[in-house]
Amino acid sequence: MQPTQLGPYTITGTLGRGGMGAVYEASDGGTGGPVAVKTLAAHLGDDPAMRRRLLAEIEALKGLRHPGIVRLLAFGEQDGLPYFAMELIRGQSLEQLLRAGQRFDWRTTVDVALAITRALKSAHDHGVVHRDLKPANLLFPDDPAVDGPVKLADFGIARLFGDSGHTLVGTVVGTAEYMAPEQAAGGPIDHRVDLYSLGLVIYAMLAGQPPFRGGAPSEVLRRQRTETPPRLSAAVADVPRALDGLVDRLLAKDPGRRPASALAVGRLLSAIEGPAADTASATGIDTSTAGAAAGRGDHDHGVDLLAPTLADGLEGGVAPIAGTHRVDGRAATLPSWPVPAADGASSGSLARQPTAPDRERVMLETLPAASRFVTLEDLHRAAREAERSRWWRDAAVRIASGIGIAAVLVGGGHALLRRPTADELHKRIMALAGDPDADLRDARPLIASFLERHGGDPRAAGIRDVGHRLDLNTLEKRVQRQRFGGGPLPGVEREYRAAMERQADGPEACLAALEAVLALHPDVSATAAEAALPPEERTSLWLDLVRRRIAELQDRMQRDRDADLASAVATLAAAAGLAEQADAAEDEQARADFDRRRWRLLTGLVDLYGDKPHVAEQVDRARALLSEMPAAAEDTPQP
């Protein structure tokens, strides 16, 4: 039954009706202007899932303010029936024009596509993917000078990037002929599904229809996933090569091969020579004909998405809502709804949204049937007031912080200007030296200050050790930063680099090369004159770095030897256990299996450690045990 009044809107006609609701033409009681009002079907008004879908569409539209997107004006609930109002676009959809035989030249198509990419960029920048971009959702206004060349409508299954509860992977929602392959497969999607659909829209504008059409929806979806669409140039003559190539990229099955964003697509379209400056005049589109959106088409203002979708029957015979919400999933929230007027205003009276920004937020589907209404103007006014409140709070905090900082500066000025004591310097230096995540370079000025002012302090030797570590770290970073062969190098640095390159031959080879460097310079020691040179020019410091590397390699090799020995001992113990199990086995086959496993363990030990002297005793023991085993153990086939 058609309502006559929804909040301040007087219903004057029906624009379209679908399986899940309707879109009405209405008159705004405040301004007298026409609007389009979208509602759920009466029998679905109490369905939480359906209400969540409507709520999701409101959430998607609420933040989108772009001349190329049908604008949300207000939303509310009347006697338990949720609704929202949009600007009324009088004109025809692209689908109506194509069905009427309208064809577009490539210049007009490029111009229309540019307008669509600007709208998509705005939606994507707000974290919203349309997911059902198609000719039925592209409206050509009767007055493009006022409303723009094209309007993007119906975000009914739009997905917000940040809400993981909106979409279940594995569910297909959308229109088959204009659906991206990953969407058709029910997989994860992102904004690039809209770019694929845009490529199909461009194709249809020039060729009259999309490349995959006809047959059952499941067959169209299969072709979207698996078949490469024919090139646009094969279907339409005189298409610029750049446009043909762009459409081919947009229709790539792999999202990674498509342009990265709507902005990138817009730039590529702009680079194509000679797009028309005005869509309506270039095409001669007559949007005042009998198919106008003023109430005679099923594709105006998103009505098409109120009709059953491809996902019908997935949730108890009802189409999934707003990209198939989970029933127990988190839904997007609306701003606070106003409470009914205190004077007991009856159902149907207008109660405006309070402007206080901190009122409790509530969900649309949790509210009892009542009359509620809020406009986007209310929301923006509340946002501005909240912003002003935050500004004054922030200003107060900044003033208080400034006063506090001034007090600290005045009160602590003496401490800041006072030179730190030896104890304070020592504490700060050692804290940096003991922190594995600290950068020792921060300690350099502190070290210099300590040694200059407190060189006779008993702790000066420890501070010099920290400085020495810092100098060695400096040399290590130099080696990592500069590759060997990049220019003439001091002799010891060149020898050190050459020795470190032997690491590819194993730690033993590198250790032998480093020890050879020390042998070439047996009598070099640090001198006072050398201490004044930069670290990279001090021979004694390079030799200390050689000694550090030797100690590290020796420690590493000892750990490796200990690990090898422990592994060999454990292998011998496991082999002994298998021997005991073989002796205790009564079944001949089981005994042969234990012997075979024991043979494999022992031969593996010999193969792995046979050339390592530190495990020679264990290897010899393994060889002896193998010689005692029956020959059949080696030849026993694996079960």
- Same structural domain for residues 151 and 253? yes
- Same structural domain for residues 552 and 591? no
Q: For the chain, what's the residue count? A: 639
pLDDT in tens, 414-472: 555 667 888 888 888 888 777 777 776 777 788 888 888 888 888 888 888 888 888 88
Q: Is residue 323 a contact partner of residue 131, using CB atoms and an 8 Å limit?
A: yes
pLDDT at res. 64: 81
- Same structural domain for residues 331 and 403? no
Q: DSSP letter for 6, please.
A: E
Instruction: Flag whether 309 is in a domain.
Output: no
- Same structural domain for residues 363 and 483? no
DSSP letter string, 254-277: SGGGS-SSHHHHHHHHHTSS---S
Q: How far apart are CA 244 and CA 117, in angstroms?
A: 17
Tokens found for residue 319: 């189409």
Residues 6+ apart with CB under 8 A from 335: 353, 361, 374, 379, 382
Q: What is the CATH number of the domain that holds 251?
A: 1.10.510.10
Place of tokens 């039954």: 1
Q: How far apart are CA 51 and CA 1, in angstroms?
A: 19
Tokens found for residue 199: 């490529």
Residues 6+ apart with CB under 8 A from 617: none
Of 557, 580, 602, the residue that ends a domain is 557
- Same structural domain for residues 499 and 586? no
Q: How far apart are CA 288 and CA 294, in angstroms?
A: 10
Instruction: Flag whether 345 is in a domain.
Output: no
Plot region of 7 (φ>0 → left; ψ -120 to 50 → alpha; else → beta) = left
Domain that holds residue 584: 563-635
Between the alpha carbon of residue 348 and those of residues 82, 152, 351, 609, the distances in Å are: 13, 31, 9, 89
pTM over 0.85: no
pLDDT in tens, 103-156: 899 999 999 999 999 999 988 988 888 888 999 889 998 888 777 889 998 876
Instruction: Flag whether 307 is in a domain.
Output: no
593-597 contacts, C-beta under 8 A, 24 or more apart: 593/636, 593/639, 595/629, 595/630, 595/632, 595/633, 595/636, 596/633, 596/636, 596/638
- Same structural domain for residues 204 and 220? yes
Q: What is the CATH number of the domain that holds 18?
A: 3.30.200.20
- Same structural domain for residues 471 and 590? no
What single-letter amino acid sits at 586? E
Chunked into runs of 10 residues, the chain (639 residues) has average pLDDT values of: 83 79 86 86 67 71 82 82 84 91 91 93 88 90 82 69 40 72 86 94 93 84 88 91 94 92 92 53 40 36 35 28 30 32 33 34 39 67 76 84 77 63 85 74 81 86 85 80 60 85 86 88 75 80 88 91 92 92 88 90 91 91 88 54
What single-letter amino acid sits at 160? L
- Same structural domain for residues 148 and 219? yes
pLDDT at res. 416: 54
> What are phi and psi for residue 248, nearest 5 degrees?
-60, -40
pLDDT at res. 446: 86
Q: How far apart are CA 80 and CA 639, in angstroms?
A: 72
- Same structural domain for residues 370 and 406? no
- Same structural domain for residues 57 and 129? no
Instruction: Flag whether 495 is in a domain.
Output: yes
- Same structural domain for residues 123 and 149? yes
Choose the catalytic residue: 28, 132, 194, 595: 132
Tokens found for residue 343: 């004077």
Task: Indicate the number of domains in the chain.
Answer: 5
Tokens found for residue 582: 């073989």
The question of whether 132 is a catalytic residue gets the answer yes
- Same structural domain for residues 392 and 443? no
